[in-house]
Chain A
């Protein structure tokens, strides 16, 4: 267990994250309400130029299908661009190390993984990717995928908002999210990171002579800008294979704390934005309380044994901050790591898995969306016990709504469990040296959970660079990203123009409901995944393993 000082730092970091999130939420809300802002004078001409060049009619309101398909189309185009860059980087400029193009399957996997905000990496950045790939494929997608998730979130909230006539315009939301949120914020954060010691350069790798007289190649590059957006946008895809365990991505305790705060910033802020966009600030309460209670539970599970750490922990970061980071990164669906997962205690891995299975503790752009889904199903199942037809935000929940939500809950176990079995049955797991014991099972289960949750942290890294794992995880990532978003948009889109009651029966903004919500999320997730968690990290724990390697 952790000591008092560590407990205090947890509370401090979380408190600061929530406070900053709350402070920036009115500004973020303005991006979607298109409220007049001081930055308009500067940015309106730029945005209008983009709209004109792209042929976008900013006043056009989209239905849920159009919104969803626009987003999907934009994302698929970006995947295609990234695929071309990655697979042909050898022939493209900005490649001082002359890295060859990636295999087709790895290119597909990487393009899908980054365009969906997953950032599961089956490659090692510093030895496989050119600067162009790092910037135009990886970094570019980190901006757009985060923007896409945030746009989808905004559209979903609009459906639930009283008086909405449409879901908004995807292109406008997309452009505004980039110009007003991710690019300026990313720029500022990148500067701070540079100040903290993260490199940002386009010149080739540096050769240095160490104190022992040996020469060492230092793989530098445009790192700070990538780290900034990878944490800010809850992407998690690192410049280096070691991710944030690499001293150039996370040089010191200050950067470590800053990056944790960044991971929590937008997910938490969007919870407040949810309330503000709805025009019912109190409705953000159950989501905030729910998300942070679940997060607290995850932290507790992980901290039970935070000191038992194996090889793969950065001594300058230490066991406590490595475990803390892992929980933040998995709960907030970022997926960056500052230590090897294999070094973690089975209970920390259990906590990480829970965070990704819940996807909303607190979760990035789509985290609020998952939380709304949990609220809807909770309101439906337990809300009946209040003696009224269950309603959320005054809207009665119908059979169709329940069907859409249940479908989303159904997809999740399907895309995690089925490929896990296939990976074993086909021998693909054995081919990369994964055992059939609880440790191996945990790793495979983790691989598909991180894919389905669009998280990106993993045990395998470049060792999973096989056709089977590249393609199977790409499919899981794709479905895990777009199926729930599509279903949730359909649900939200159907809310537009629906009859709303004015009498509130079940107060979803109350503390007591928030607690019931937490209970029902735990039950829903436990009922779905308990046997598999029992065969994985729980069994490892009972078998007496102290870290993921045994």
Chain B
């Protein structure tokens, strides 16, 4: 798996983010911004470039009035000074341009995200003049205390309280608990959860969280973006190097003057600028900003630059099973008949009972029965079947249809209705479910314990079978036919596609995943081992995550976790990297330091990879910048004292001309900045392997490469210059 460098962003927004880079380069806004930034005042935050600008002023002054600089300048060198000052100016401009470009890109991405915030169409109830109307409303336009109607399969748009009705709600995406939860008036609904059955009315309890987007845009726009700890440390290195090179240059000037070595001030200043870490100095702001942009492109809002960096350091990721590792729905695996029944009977009954069950589980049961060849003969009867929708109170669903084991019923017709009438007449009115009339068959499937209450007699091995399945990490569904329990369906969690590889890739980078689930231990362990996770915490409630995070932190680990329920908030707050789902509660989003607008918990892994990429990019450009200096010394030092010491020409291994050595080195120094802008903005590509391999590979490319590239580049520019 390669971390995508230029993944086209799937977005309803026609102006795709991927094209922003190209768009911005030609936008006048960036150009003007880059020129405004040339003022020494705004350069003050970037001392390296400020020094380059100062040298530009000095050399420009030398070009205008060389006589004033004797003995370190000669009037004959005027044209040379003009050339040098021009290159120096362009160097500074390249740096302001890259910063302006990065900021523009980040702004564009940020504002495009504003439109992308999870928008669910909800049914807002408006009471006007004693009549209730339902108005389709975007979730982002809902406000606190609005009333909303939630029907089966609706997504709860935002946190709300139930005020009327009872429903089963699937909160698996939010809490990780895959079993639907029963919600009655007074219960809180979590934004992002899905109504599985029934209809309820609820009152909105929170305003949509636009605050993150606003916060984020502020972060991008403010030119005084606080430096992250890592940026501060790099800045220290740059300061230190600048100070060291200042001493060296001052000493060279001093030696040249005291020993009469005749070095030209412009050449010494050119050497100074070439030695200064201009490449990293120019690109450092852009690297940080584009790191944020890359997160935004994946629709994740970071509240601070620090959070992204910390993500790169994560050693432990606390993963929710549901939503991250499994898709949140289960799949039928096996049919287990009770004594006296055949597999075929169970399969056919399961098939029939699931026909009208349009959930993924239901579909998977049909698929299983179909695959095994247990296709009921009386399929046609389904057309007229009486369907028991899944209800939260009985936790079961089913069908009732005319019995026909040996002949096909005509579709519709008198016979059925007659039979139905007869059956109703004979069946007890109070116990509709336990129907055993001769001509009809009623099949109910549901949670084993609720089926137990419906059947007339419980098979001897019922409990044993249920326990075995649970113990092996799966979920049992019992099937009853005409009031007799006939068998059990084994359901299994379905893994998200690609999750195994993702887990593998983070493990190989030395990150320890911990799976958290509400499932029982055996279920949890079997799923964990399937994806290669050694550590899992079963039967965990959201509150338990706090303890898990703290425990890992006590072992001095950097912990990342995801969450969205209010119960997750403490853990999100204490985790080093807390990624909240946009569909989650306000409390969770408030506590986290990142919010995923797409509410995809598996993205926590991407966040970690992006954090690493950001750190690597910064390191690579820094190492490259410093390594470049070796070649620059070899280019300029031989010509520095050319007028008095000819023997140093022996060091001129590139065979550069006197003036051309200085000009081509300076040009290389300037041109490398825009050449590296794409690298800085997209981040360096890397394959997740162990840390040492990544380190050695990057050291080879950017460290050793940083020594070699300028030798080649300077020579090439020198050849080009010699053509004119």
Contact = CB atoms under 8 A, between A and B. Distances in A.
B626 A527 contact: yes
B436 interface: no
Interface string B641-685: 100010110110000000000000000000000000000000000
B483 interface: no
Given A387-B616, A399-B235, A402-B233, A531 B248 contact: yes
A125 to B, nearest CB: 34
- Most chain A Cβ neighbours within 10 Å, of B232, B240, B254: B240
Contact of B558 (A385, A403, A501, A506): A501
A11 interface: no
A510 B252 contact: no
B695 A539 contact: no
Nearest to B706: A523
B251 A539 contact: no
Interface stretch (A45-53, A89-97, A363-371, A415-423): A415-423
B512 to A, nearest CB: 8
Contacts of B243: 406, 410
A137 B599 CA distance: 76
Contacts of A530: 633, 637
Contacts of B647: 539, 542-543
B562 interface: no
A418 B254 CA distance: 9
Contact of B695 (A383, A526, A543): A383
A503 interface: yes
Given A381-B626, A382-B699, A506 B247 contact: no
Given A421-B255, A523-B626, A385 B240 contact: no
A413 B244 contact: yes
Contact of B694 (A387, A389, A397, A417): A387
B695 A527 contact: no
B236 A417 contact: no
Interface string A404-431: 0111011001100110110011000000
B613 A387 contact: yes
Contacts of A383: 619, 695
Nearest to A534: B637
Q: Is the interface of A mostly helix, strand, loop or mixed?
A: helix
Interface string B479-500: 0000000000000000000000
B79 interface: no
Interface string A372-396: 0000010011111111110000101
A73 B184 CA distance: 77
Contacts of A396: 313
B233 A385 contact: no
Contacts of A401: 233
Nearest to B558: A501
A389 B230 contact: yes
Given A417-B247, A424-B255, A516 B703 contact: yes
A281 B163 CA distance: 67
Contacts of B637: 530-531, 534
B612 A406 contact: no
A109 B613 CA distance: 53
Nearest to A499: B556
A7 interface: no
A531 B639 CA distance: 11
A530 B647 CA distance: 16
Nearest to A528: B244
A253 interface: no
B279 interface: no
A543 B650 CA distance: 10
B130 to A, nearest CB: 64
A504 B512 CA distance: 12
From A377, A382, A516, A523, name the one whose CB has the most chain B CB atoms within 10 angstroms. A382
A201 interface: no
Contacts of A501: 313, 315, 556-558
A502 B315 CA distance: 9
Interface residue range, chain B: 35 or more
Contacts of B710: none
B426 to A, nearest CB: 71
B89 interface: no
Among A380, A407, A506, chain B packs the most CB atoms within 10 A around the CB of A380
Contacts of B627: 523
B313 A388 contact: yes
Contacts, number: 192
Contact of A534 (B240, B558, B651): B651
Given A403-B236, A530-B633, A385 B702 contact: yes
Contact of A410 (B233, B244, B611, B613): B244
B654 to A, nearest CB: 15
Given A381-B626, A402-B240, A413-B244, A502 B691 contact: no
Contact of B240 (A406, A417, A512): A406
Contacts of B611: 387
Contact of A409 (B240, B509, B645, B694): B240
Most A-side CB within 10 Å, residue of B243, B626, B699: B699
A527 B696 contact: no
Contact of A506 (B629, B641, B695): B695
A526 B633 CA distance: 9
Contact of B510 (A382, A403, A424, A503): A503
Interface string A188-215: 0000000000000000000000000000
B630 interface: yes
Contacts of B255: 420-421, 424, 441, 532, 535
A414 B619 contact: no
A127 interface: no
A389 B555 contact: no
Contacts of B384: none
Contacts of B512: 503
A382 B626 CA distance: 11
A389 B692 contact: no
A381 B702 CA distance: 12
A353 B232 CA distance: 34
Nearest to B253: A421
Interface string B263-288: 00000000000010000000000000
Contacts of A510: 692
Contacts of A512: 692, 696
A364 to B, nearest CB: 24
Nearest to B553: A499
B699 A425 contact: no
Contacts of B229: 389, 398-399
Given A406-B244, A535-B261, 15 more contacts: A381-B623, A382-B619, A384-B619, A385-B699, A386-B616, A388-B612, A397-B233, A402-B237, A402-B240, A421-B255, A505-B510, A506-B695, A507-B692, A523-B629, A542-B648
6 contacts: A381-B619, A382-B699, A384-B622, A417-B247, A507-B691, A523-B629
Give 7 nearest A-B pairs by CB, closest first.
A384-B619, A406-B240, A387-B612, A386-B695, A385-B698, A417-B251, A399-B232
Interface of A: 377, 380-389, 394, 396-399, 401-403, 405-407, 409-410, 413-414, 417-418, 420-421, 424-425, 436, 441, 499-507, 510, 512, 516, 519, 523, 526-528, 530-532, 534-535, 538-539, 542-543
